[in-house]
Amino acid sequence: MKRSIVLLSMVSIVLIVLGGYLFAIDKPTVVYPEIKGQIITETGVPNAYWWGYPAIIVTPQELAQLKQLAPHIVPPPWYATLWPIPLVGGIVGLIYSVVRLLKK
């Protein structure tokens, strides 16, 4: 009986880790295009990039073309939204194991 409780505890810990991993990847990934370290300003007033690169001034036509280079958002995988299931299952299994071990 004790061997099965230890096994249940180990499986519960694995489920908790799996739930934590799925929670960590349940966020969209934002991929920004590279514009050679420069900021494009809409107003035509140059700004200083925080790494020290100067901004470039563009015409409205160039700005319209550059806006097509908007950040690309990659959604998380569909299974990442299932993170509460292994997390709750692992927590319940771990609590059950502790209660069973303390009863004896």
The overall pTM is greater than 0.75: no
Q: Would strands 29-31 and 72-74 be described as parallel, antiparallel, or unpaired?
A: antiparallel
Per-residue model confidence (pLDDT) at position 96: 93
The answer to whether the beta carbons of residues 76 and 25 sit under 8 Å apart is yes
User: What is the token pair recorded at 6?
Assistant: 């230890």
pLDDT in tens, the chain (104 residues): 788 888 999 999 999 999 999 998 888 876 555 555 554 444 444 444 444 455 555 566 665 666 666 666 778 888 989 999 999 999 999 999 999 988 87
Per-residue model confidence (pLDDT) at position 25: 87
Per-residue model confidence (pLDDT) at position 75: 83
Per-residue model confidence (pLDDT) at position 42: 45
Per-residue model confidence (pLDDT) at position 85: 95
User: How far is the C-alpha of 9 from the C-alpha of 97, rounded, in Å?
Assistant: 6
Per-residue model confidence (pLDDT) at position 92: 95
